A and B are shown apart, each in its own frame.
Chain A
Amino acid sequence: MSTSQTPTDPTAVPAGPVVPADLQDERLIAAQGLRGWAGATWERVKSGDLGSLPVVVGLVIIWGVFYALNPAFISSRNLVNLSLQMVPTGVLALGVVLVLLLGQIDLSIGSMYGLSGAVLVVLFVNQGAPIAVAVLLALAAGAVVGLVYGLLFNRFGVPSFVITLAGLLAILGLQLRVLGTDGTVNLPFESAIVQFASQMYLPAWLSYVLAVAVPVVYLASRLRTDRRRVAAGLSATPVTMVAVRAAVMGVLLVVVVAVLNDDRGLSTMVVLFLALVVVMDLAIRRTTWGRSVLAIGGNVEAARRAGIDVKRTFLSVFVLCSTFAALGGILGAARLASANQSSGGADTNLNAIAAAVIGGTSLFGGRGSAYSALLGILVIYSISNGLALLSVSADIRYIVTGAVLLLAVVIDSLSRRSRAAHGRA
């Protein structure tokens, strides 16, 4: 494909310009084939458009170090544990990504996590409500809190930092109130929700089917888009490139699934989290709503003048973020089969926010992706899991996690400066 400046298929571009419309400017440094792509990617990285590169590199280093210190870190058993540990906070981080994209913050996700866990166990265990009702009401609690934030934010223009700080305290109070004198409520181990979060795994064959289906769907959708692009007189990514990417993706997924299947396998709760990440990624990149979120994060006044309903978008994001926090709380309570007064306390909040930032979502708004929740939470829980394996106490764990967060924020700021210098904002 090294001579693809002119499409070889004459029927694809009927009587149109010979050079694809997007490659006609003579100042464009043509990037063709694998080498061209690699070169273009390197240029992007140099100019500070890092995407998820730093976190992937960081993850490889972290895993390497822990493996060197204790090979059990990369055992199937430990990796299945890691995959389960990360999910509840990972779901929180997904909500944080959304508010960060708007250039806002929600500090109360930890409290929300605790409250929804409390609502779940009290309704289900103490009040005898059906599990579905308990789950729905716990989620509804999250939605209502988000709605209140959104309305306050839109009505009074108070910074979300302050609104959610107030929320953090008030919701913590609610959590204690809901739990009442009980303090700790245990979920029965046989209940469906506990089974779902800690005992249910995909059958091995199904996990392999998924691992192969994902790259196949990716390949098919890319090829379809590229056909439409060529038909529209635009350039398309070389087929080999797309195929290589899909193949790499497939091999990675199959290896991961094989490793997990060596132990208990791929948990249904993990599949739920991964599905949420993919859905949110599509929602951010492929829908009008996602485009509005990014636009508001970039320049709220421009978004407003473009006719975007800014208030509704803020509202929807605050509601989603709190609802994700509530879902995280439900999964957390289900995984530990209990909820107590300190659920969602301590570092839950900070881990979720740190995960989103470490994963590459900018604190400055308008830049980031749903995958940063997954990557960031992997980093944070790899550190805490690895240090726990080495029997290192919590004090060191906090310090190391803090250092990694600091590093991530520094990288974010530096790459922002570099993007400005290289004109990529």
Chain B
Amino acid sequence: MSTTTTLAPVLSMTGVSKRFGAVQALKDIDFEVAAGEVVALVGDNGAGKSTLVKTIAGVYAPDGGNVVFDGSPVSITSPSEAQALGIATVFQDLALCDNLDVVGNLFLGNERKHGGALDEVTMEQESWRLLRELSAKIPSVRIPVASLSGGQRQTVAIARSLLGDPKVVMLDEPTAALGVAQTAEVLNLVERLRDKGLGVILISHNMSDVMAVADRVAVLRLGRNNGVFRVADTSSTEIIAAITGATTNAVTARAARRAPQEEQS
């Protein structure tokens, strides 16, 4: 089990805590991602993954802890500050405006202009380019996103994070609603981002996706760090044990139950 990276971290945080009333959602979290690295953030439901992502994205202000971005200490107090630093986020709840069309949502807060007015033509053209890149199956970019399917909405949210020139991209369960081809495209995209030298933080409950693209896996359990694993030197069993907090757990029990049955048949 190795916890150090060879590359210089683009984002690193130490001792970050966040509390919601009586719930200690994050407690003394240490976390880092290097340029050109994919870190998977895993943990059970309610482990605090989304809270950590939102803290980095400036949606929640942490109660304590230090954040260093690109070598200098920062305090991210608003989403626009996070964006200005170069942190792009796909939120688990997508955060789209249902009344705006796909183009409006893609470029929200980031509009292209042409002679003082919104440049709808360029924005629409770029929207198509981005969506094609993700093999998106969206019939029209001029319909309100409310009329899109769950996966189409997710694709829009992912495409949005690719605009601008981010240094770190955070994807909170980006493939939860996606079809087989679109999931593969998103995993390809994650690899492309890494090859371009971006730091990628990927949250996923799908172990095979995680093992396929991540360089390291950081495990959260009940709001605390519960180990960092290098994918090359670990197995999904070991990670699942860290997620559930026991070597014998529901997952291993289920596997053990199935094994004898399969031998019989």
Name A's B-contacting residues (CB within 8 A).
21-22, 25, 27-28, 225, 228-229, 232-234, 282, 286-288, 291-292, 294-295, 297-299, 301-309, 366-367, 419-420, 422-425
Spell out B's residues near A (CB within 8 Å): 57, 59, 78-80, 83-84, 89, 91, 95-100, 104, 108-111, 113, 116-118, 120-122, 124-125, 128, 137-148
State how many angstroms separate the Cβ of A256 from the closest Cβ of chain B: 28
What CA separation (Å) do A367 and B104 show in the bound complex?
Answer: 14
A205–B55 CA distance with the chains assembled, in angstroms? 63
Contact B143 A424 (CB under 8 A): yes
A301: which B residues are within 8 A, CB to CB? 95
Docked pose: A308 CA to B105 CA in angstroms:
12
Which residue of B is nearest A225, CB measured?
B121
Q: Which residues of A contact B89 (CB under 8 A)?
A: 305
Whether the pair A306, B108 counts as a contact (CB closer than 8 A) is yes
Interface contact A424-B104, CB-CB below 8 Å: no
| Nearest opposing residue in chain B for A24, CB measure | B128
- Whether B80 lies near A295 (C-beta < 8 A) is no
**B146, A425: Cβ atoms closer than 8 Å:** yes
CA distance A309 to B109 in the complex (A): 9
Q: Do A295 and B95 touch across chains, with their CB atoms under 8 A apart?
A: no
Q: List 9 A-B contacts (CB under 8 A).
A: A22-B124, A22-B142, A298-B98, A304-B79, A305-B59, A305-B91, A306-B108, A306-B110, A424-B143
Q: A294-B99, A295-B97, A299-B98 are in contact. Are A287 and B118 (CB under 8 A)?
A: yes
A299 to B147, Cβ gap below 8 A? no
- A21-B128, A295-B108, A305-B89 as given contacts; A288 in contact with B141, CB under 8 Å: no
A288 touches B111 (CB 8 A): yes
Closest chain-A Cβ to B156's Cβ sits at a distance in Å of: 11
Please give the distance in Å from B49's CB to the nearest CB on chain A. Answer: 17
A363 to chain B, nearest CB (A): 14
A306/B79 in contact, CB under 8 A: yes
> How far, in angstroms, from A298 to B99 measured CA to CA in the complex?
6
Q: Looking at chain B's contact residues, is the secondary structure mostly helix, strand, loop, or mixed?
A: loop
What is the distance, in angstroms, from A2's C-beta to the closest C-beta of chain B?
Answer: 21
Contacts of A299 in B (CB 8 A): 95-99
Q: How far does the Cβ of B69 sit from chain A's closest Cβ, in whole Å? A: 16
Kindly state the separation between the CA atoms of A423 and B152 in the bound complex, as whole angstroms.
13
Q: For B136, give the chain A residue with the smallest CB separation.
A: A25
Q: Are A234 and B146 in contact (CB under 8 A)?
A: no
Question: Are A234 and B124 in touch, CB under 8 angstroms?
Answer: yes
Q: B144 to A424, Cβ gap below 8 A?
A: yes
A297 to B108, CA, bound (A): 13
How far is it, in angstroms, between the C-alpha of A422 and the C-alpha of B83 when the chains are bound? Answer: 35
Does A306 lie within 8 Å of B109, measured CB to CB? yes
Residues of A with C-beta under 8 A to B146: 419-420, 423-425
Asked if A22 and B147 sit within 8 Å, CB to CB, the answer is no
Contact B121 A288 (CB under 8 A): no
Q: How far is the CA of A420 from the CA of B83 in the complex (A)?
A: 32
Closest to A29 in B: B139
> Which residue of chain B has the shortest Cβ distance to A422 in the bound complex?
B147
Closest chain A residue to B82, Cβ basis: A307
Give min CB distance, B212 to chain A, whole Å: 28
In the complex, the answer to whether B80 meets A294 with C-beta atoms within 8 Å is no
Residue of A whose beta carbon sits closest to that of B114 = A228
B141:A22 contact, CB within 8 angstroms: yes
A294-B100, A307-B80 as given contacts; A287 in contact with B121, CB under 8 Å:
no
Q: Which of B96, B100, B147 contacts A424 (CB 8 A)?
A: B147
Across-interface contacts of A287 in B (CB, < 8 A):
116-118
The CA of A229 and the CA of B103, in the complex, are separated in Å by 14
The chain A residue sitting closest to B131, CB to CB, is: A21
Residues of B within 8 A of A228 (CB): 121
Contact in complex: B121, A305 (CB < 8 Å): no
Contact present for B125 and A302 (CB under 8 Å) = no
Q: When chains A and B are docked, how far (Å) is the Cα of A424 from the Cα of B146?
A: 6
A227 → chain B closest CB, angstroms: 10
**A286: which B residues are within 8 A, CB to CB?**
117-118
Residues of B within 8 A of A367 (CB): 99
What residues of B have a CB within 8 angstroms of the CB of A294 in the complex? 97, 99-100, 104
User: In the complex the two chains form, is A305's CB within 8 Å of B79's CB?
Assistant: yes
Taking the closest CB of chain A, its distance from the CB of B119, in whole angstroms, is 9
Given A22-B141, A299-B95, A424-B144, the answer on whether A291 and B121 have CB atoms closer than 8 Å is: no
- Which 6 pairs from chain A and chain B are nearest by CB? A425-B146, A423-B147, A306-B109, A307-B80, A298-B99, A298-B97
- Asked whether B121 lies within 8 Å of A295 as measured between CB atoms, the reply is no
Contact B111 A291 (CB under 8 A): yes
Return chain A residues, CB-CB under 8 Å to B122.
Answer: 232
B118: A residues at CB distance < 8 A: 286-288, 291
